[in-house]
Structure 1
Amino acid sequence: MPCKFLERMTGWFKKGSLKNRRTFEPRVIPRDQHPISRKQVSRAALDVLYGLHKAGFEAYLVGGCLRDILCGREPKDFDVSTNATPEQVNRLFKRSRIIGRRFQIVHVRFGREVIEVSTFRAMNREDNPDRDQHHAHEETGMVLRDNTWGSIEEDALRRDFTINALYYNIADFTLHDFVGSLDDIDEQVIHLIGDPETRFREDPVRMLRAARFAAKLGFHIDPATGDPIPDLAELLLQVPSARLFDEVLKLFLSGHARDSYEQLQSLGLFRFLFPETQQALEGEKGQIWEAMLLAAMDNTDKRLADGKPVTPAFIYAVLLWPIIQERMGHYLSSGLPPAQALHKSATRALNTQIKHTAIPRRFSTVMREMWELQLRLDKRAGKRADAMMEHPRFRAAYDFLLLREQAEEIKPGLGDWWTRYQEQDEQGRRQMISELGNQPGGGGNKRRRRRRKKPAAEG
Structure 2
Amino acid sequence: MRPNTPNLQLQIIPRDQHNVSRKEISPNALRVLYRLREGGFAAYLVGGAVRDLLIGGHPKDFDVATDATPEQVKGLFRNCRLIGRRFRLAHVVYGREIIEVATFRANSDDGSGDRELHEGGRVLRDNVYGSIEEDAVRRDFTANALYYAIEDFSVRDYLGGFEDVRNRLMRLIGDPETRYREDPVRMLRAVRLAAKLDFEIEPATAAPIPHLAPLLSEAAPARLFEECLKLFLSGHAVASFLGLERHGLLSALLPETAAALKSNRSGALRRMVLEGLKGTDARVANDEPVSPAFLFALLLWPAYCRALMELQAHGVHEAEAQRRAADRVTVHQLNMIALPRRFSLPMQEIWLLQSRFSQRQRKRVFRLLAHPRFRAAFDFLVLRMSASDEHADDVAFWREVQDKPGDELAAQLDAHVAHEDAAQAPRKRRRRRRGPPANGE
- TM-score, with structure 2 as normaliser: 0.89
Structure 2: gaps spanning 5 or more residues: 423-441
Which residue, out of 78, 100, 124, partners 1:94?
A: 78
Q: For residues 279 and 369 of structure 2, what CA distance do their matches in structure 1 show?
A: 21
SS in 2 for 1:109: strand
Q: Number of aligned residue pairs: give it.
A: 419
Q: Indicate the residue corresponding to 2:436 in structure 1.
A: none
SS in 1 for 2:385: helix
Q: Is the deviation greater in 343-352 or in 253-262?
A: 343-352
Q: Indicate the residue corresponding to 2:111 in structure 1.
A: 129
1:289 Cα offset (Å): 1.6
1:356 Cα offset (Å): 0.5
Q: Deviations over 1:400-440 (max 9, x none)?
A: 11111221185422112212223545676456424532676
Which residue, out of 278, 293, 302, partners 1:313?
A: 293
Q: Indicate the residue corresponding to 2:372 in structure 1.
A: 392
1:376 Cα offset (Å): 2.2
1:115 Cα offset (Å): 1.7
Which residue, out of 205, 229, 239, partners 1:225?
A: 205
Q: Indicate the residue corresponding to 2:283 in structure 1.
A: 303
Q: Indicate the residue corresponding to 1:76 in structure 2.
A: 60
Is 2:156 the partner of 1:176? yes
Aligned CA distance change for structure 1 residues 330 and 34 (closer, same or farther; 3 Å): closer
Superposition map of 1:101-250 within 5 A: 101-124=85-108, 128-130=110-112, 134-250=114-230
Which residue, out of 318, 322, 337, partners 1:342?
A: 322
1:380 Cα offset (Å): 3.6
Q: For residues 316 and 248 of structure 1, what CA distance do their matches in structure 2 show?
A: 10
Q: Indicate the residue corresponding to 2:257 in structure 1.
A: 277
Q: Is the deviation greater in 409-418 or in 255-264?
A: 409-418
Q: Is the deviation greater in 60-69 or in 366-375?
A: 366-375
Q: Does the CA-based 8 Å contact 1:421-1:432 persist in structure 2?
A: no
Superposition map of 1:258-277 within 5 A: 258-277=238-257
1:274 Cα offset (Å): 0.7
SS in 1 for 2:362: coil
Percent identical = 48
Aligned CA distance change for structure 1 residues 369 and 96 (closer, same or farther; 3 Å): farther
Q: Indicate the residue corresponding to 1:41 in structure 2.
A: 25
Q: For residues 202 and 441 of structure 1, what CA distance do their matches in structure 2 show?
A: 68
Q: Does the CA-based 8 Å contact 2:268-2:386 persist in structure 1?
A: no
Q: For residues 276 and 314 of structure 1, what CA distance do their matches in structure 2 show?
A: 18
For the pair shown, which has the larger CA radius of gyration, 1 or 2?
2
Q: For residues 187 and 34 of structure 1, what CA distance do their matches in structure 2 show?
A: 14
1:35 Cα offset (Å): 1.6
SS in 2 for 1:76: coil
Q: Indicate the residue corresponding to 1:257 in structure 2.
A: 237
| Counterpart AA for 1:288 | A
1:379 Cα offset (Å): 2.6
Q: Is the deviation greater in 233-242 or in 134-143?
A: 134-143
Q: Does the CA-based 8 Å contact 1:59-1:171 persist in structure 2?
A: no
Q: For residues 317 and 298 of structure 1, what CA distance do their matches in structure 2 show?
A: 15
| Counterpart AA for 2:258 | Q
Q: For residues 242 and 216 of structure 2, what CA distance do their matches in structure 1 show?
A: 18
Q: Does the CA-based 8 Å contact 2:381-2:391 persist in structure 1?
A: no
| Counterpart AA for 2:13 | I
Structure 1: gaps spanning 5 or more residues: 1-20, 443-459
Q: For residues 338 and 96 of structure 1, what CA distance do their matches in structure 2 show?
A: 56
- TM-score, with structure 1 as normaliser: 0.85
Q: Does the CA-based 8 Å contact 2:293-2:343 persist in structure 1?
A: yes
